[in-house]
Amino acid sequence: MLTENDVRVLQAERLLAEVVGFETDEVVRHALGSIVTTYRGTRFIDFTGGIAVHACGHGHPEIVAAIVEQAASVLHVSDIMRHTPQLELAHWIGDLLQKHHHGSDWQFQFMNSGSESIDTAAKLALKATGRKKFVAFEGAFHGRTLFASALSRSKYAHWDAYEEFLAPLRASIFHVNNIGGDGIPRLQDSMAALEELLEQEGSNIAAVFCEAQQGEGGYVPMTKEAGQRLSELTNQHGILLISDEIQSGFGRTGKWFAFEHLGIEPDMIVFGKAVGGGLPLAGVAAQRDLMERWKLGEHGTTFGGNPVSCAAGLAALRIIERDNLVSQASYHGEYIKQRLEPLIGHHGVVDVRGNGLMIGVELQTSDGLPDYLRVERVKIAARNQGLLFLTCGANIGKLDVDNSTIRLIPALNTHEEVINEGLRIFKEALEVD
Ligand SMILES: Cc1ncc(COP(=O)(O)O)c(C=O)c1O
C-alpha cells in the first residue's frame, strides 16, 4: 500500500495525460457507498457516482463478492466460448424489457464502453437499413470514439480539435438544431425541424439517436409530446429509433429506462455505465430481426461482455430490483427537487430539472447568460466543504460556454441523511459570489 508521501511523489511526476480534467488533485484511498476518502484524509460526499455508474454506491459488498467469485472461476475467454455471466445478464435484461412490455425477442451485443456501443448501434443500423445517414440532436452527447464524437454536439472541446477529420463524417449526420438564446437545447422545439428534415432526407436516414434526458447537454428531459412525435416521424419514414440510455438507464431517472417517461418504444437501446456494477461494460439491445441482418464477423470485440463485468453487472441489477432502487430514485429525486426549487430566482438559479436522481440546477447571470463561471465557483466551494458534483450544459456557438448546469447524480441507494448533508453543503456553496 502506498503512503501519503509515495502518492505525493507520484503526483509530482505527472504520470497521467492532462487531457482529462480531474475534479480534484487528491488521490482516492477508499470509496464505500456515497462516501469517498483520500490519502490526505479528506472525506467527500459523492454526488457524481463515478459519472452515473454507481447505482448501488461504491464498493457494494454483494457486487464485490460476485466479482471475486467470478474472477476465481473464469476471468476471460473472449469469443472463444459462451459463458454463463453473459448469458444470464442477457436473459435478465431481456426479461426486464419483456416484463415492462418493451417487446419479447431482444438480442444483445455486449461491448466495453458506451462510445463503442454507440458505434455498434450505428454499424447495425447501416447494415439493417441499407441507408447511410444519421440524425442526432443539438446538445447531444454520445461518446468519444470518432463516430460518437461526430454524433455529439454538447461540448465544443469534444470535437473542435478533430473538426477537419470529422467533416466528411459529419456530412452524413444531421443535427436537429434548436439551441435557445440561453444556450440550452429545447428538445421539444426540435420536432418541427426534424419533420422538415425528414421530408427531404427521410429515405436516406438509417437512424435517429436520442437521449430521453440529455446528459452532457444540460440534463434536459425531452417532453412526452416531443417523444411521441419523434416516434411517429421515425415510424413514418422507416427510420430506426435508437435510445441512448448509457447514462439514464437502469433506474437512474426513476424508471428502468428514460424512454419510458416518453411512452415510446425504441428499436435499439444502447446501455452502459450502471450495467457493469462499477466495471467496464456496455452494449446494444435490438430485436432479433435486426440483429440477424449482421453477417458473421461484421462486428466483434475482445473484452466486451467479459465474465467478470457481466457478473458484477448482474449483481448490481439484482440489487436495484430487490431493493426497489428505481422507485427510490424517483422518491429521492422528487425530494431533492422540492428542497432546491425554492432557490429558483436566488443565487442565479433559473431552473431545477430532471427525472429521478439525474438532476440539473441551471445558473444564469443577471443578463440571462449561462453562468458557467459561477457554476465553477460553486463547485469549488462545495468541494472545499466535502461535496463532489459534476457540471453539464451545451456550448453555444463557438463560445467556450459549456457548463452552466450543476448535475447531481448520487447513487440510487444514498441514505437520506447523506443526501441532506450534501444538500446543506450545496446550498451554502451557492451563496459564494
Ligand atoms: C448519454 C451518454 N452517451 C454516451 C456516453 C459515452 O460512454 P462512455 O464514456 O462509456 O464511452 C456517455 C458518457 O458519459 C453518456 O452519458
Q: Which atom of ligand 1 is nearest to the CA of 214?
A: 1
CA-nearest residue for atom 5, ligand 1, is 143
Name the residue of 48, 110, 112, 115 whose CB sits within 8 Å of the most ligand 1 atoms, as the mutation to test its pocket. Answer: 115
Residue of 69, 70, 37, 34 whose CA lies nearest to 55: 34
Quick check: CB of 283 below 6 Å from ligand 1?
no
Question: How remote is the CA of residue 144 from the centroid of ligand 1, in Å?
Answer: 8
| 217-224 mean pLDDT | 91
Length of the chain: 433
Q: What is the model's pLDDT at position 179? A: 52
Quick check: CB of 276 below 6 Å from ligand 1?
no
Alpha-carbon distance of 106 to 64, in angstroms, equals 28
Residue 155 Ramachandran class (φ > 0 left, ψ -120 to 50 alpha, else beta): beta
CA-nearest residue for atom 7, ligand 1, is 114
Confidence grade of residue 402 (pLDDT, cut at 50, 70, 90): confident
* Helix/strand number for the chain, H first, E second: 15, 17
Model confidence, pTM: 0.96
Half-sphere exposure of 349 (CA within 13 A, CB side): 23
pLDDT, tens digit, 9 for 90 and up, residues 366-401: 988 889 899 999 999 999 999 999 999 876 555 555
Q: What is the model's pLDDT at position 430? A: 97
Confidence grade of residue 182 (pLDDT, cut at 50, 70, 90): low
Q: Cell triple for residue 137?
A: 440532436
Which residue in the block uniquely carries the three cell numbers 473542435? 160
Q: What is the model's pLDDT at position 386? A: 98
Name the residue of 247, 257, 284 whose CB sits within 8 Å of the most ligand 1 atoms, as the mutation to test its pocket. Answer: 247
Helices (H), 13-138: 49-52, 61-73, 84-99, 114-129
Residue 154 has pLDDT above 90, yes or no: no
Question: How remote is the CA of residue 281 from the centroid of ligand 1, in Å?
Answer: 11
Average pLDDT, the chain: 93
Residue 217 has pLDDT above 70, yes or no: yes
| Domain chopping of the chain, boundaries | 63-322
- pLDDT above 90 covers what percent of the chain? 80
Quick check: CB of 190 below 6 Å from ligand 1?
no
Residue 120 has pLDDT above 60, yes or no: yes
3-state DSSP call for residue 179? Answer: strand
Alpha-carbon distance of 417 to 223, in angstroms, equals 32
Q: Strand 220-221 vs strand 213-214: parallel, antiparallel, or unpaired? A: antiparallel
Quick check: CB of 243 below 6 Å from ligand 1?
no
Question: How remote is the CA of residue 8 from the centroid of ligand 1, in Å?
Answer: 31
Q: Cell triple for residue 124?
A: 447495425
User: 35 and 422 in contact (C-beta within 8 Å)?
Assistant: no
User: 386 and 44 in contact (C-beta within 8 Å)?
Assistant: yes
pLDDT, tens digit, 9 for 90 and up, residues 58-115: 999 999 999 999 999 999 999 999 999 999 999 999 999 999 999 889 999 999 999 9
397 vs 301 pLDDT, higher one = 301
285 vs 226 pLDDT, higher one = 285
Q: What is the model's pLDDT at position 396? A: 54
CA-nearest residue for atom 8, ligand 1, is 114
Residue of 161, 150, 218, 213 whose CA lies nearest to 184: 218
**CB-based burial of residue 379 (10 Å sphere; 0-12 exposed, 13-18 middle, 19+ buried)?**
buried
Helix, strand, coil content of the chain in percent (nearest 5)? 45, 20, 35
26 vs 63 pLDDT, higher one = 63
3-state DSSP call for residue 200? Answer: helix
pLDDT, tens digit, 9 for 90 and up, residues 130-143: 999 999 998 899 99
Q: What is the model's pLDDT at position 59? A: 98
Question: How remote is the CA of residue 247 from the centroid of ligand 1, in Å?
Answer: 6
Return the sign of the alpha-carbon dihedral for residues 423, 341, 215, 318.
positive
Residue 185 has pLDDT above 60, yes or no: no
Confidence grade of residue 267 (pLDDT, cut at 50, 70, 90): very high
Residue 122 has pLDDT above 70, yes or no: yes
Alpha-carbon distance of 201 to 243, in angstroms, equals 21
Question: How remote is the CA of residue 310 from the centroid of ligand 1, in Å?
Answer: 18
Residue 224 φ then ψ, to 5°: -60, -40
- Residue 45: CB partners within 8 Å, gap ≥ 6? 34, 35, 386, 387, 388, 418, 421, 422, 425
Q: What is the model's pLDDT at position 400? A: 56
* Residues pairing with 175 in the sheet: 136
Write the DSSP assignment of 328-389 as a string of letters. HHHHHHHHHHHHHGGGTTSTTEEEEEEETTEEEEEEB-TTS-B-HHHHHHHHHHHHHTTEE-
What type of residue is 157?
A: A
Which residue in the block uniquely carries the three cell numbers 448546469? 405
Beta strand segments in 226-281, E: 240-244, 268-271
Name which CATH class applies to 63-322.
Answer: alpha beta
pLDDT, tens digit, 9 for 90 and up, residues 288-299: 999 999 999 999
| 280-287 mean pLDDT | 98
Name the residue of 153, 211, 246 whose CB sits within 8 Å of the most ligand 1 atoms, as the mutation to test its pocket. Answer: 246
Q: What is the model's pLDDT at position 254? A: 98
CA-nearest residue for atom 6, ligand 1, is 143
Q: Which atom of ligand 1 is nearest to the CA of 140?
A: 1
- Residue 56: CB partners within 8 Å, gap ≥ 6? 63, 277, 316, 319, 320, 323, 325, 411, 412, 413
Residue 148 has pLDDT above 90, yes or no: yes
Q: What is the model's pLDDT at position 193? A: 87
Q: What is the model's pLDDT at position 22? A: 86
Question: How remote is the CA of residue 201 from the centroid of ligand 1, in Å?
Answer: 28
Q: Which atom of ligand 1 is nearest to the CA of 144?
A: 11
Quick check: CB of 246 below 6 Å from ligand 1?
yes
Quick check: CB of 141 below 6 Å from ligand 1?
yes
Q: Which atom of ligand 1 is nearest to the CA of 282?
A: 10
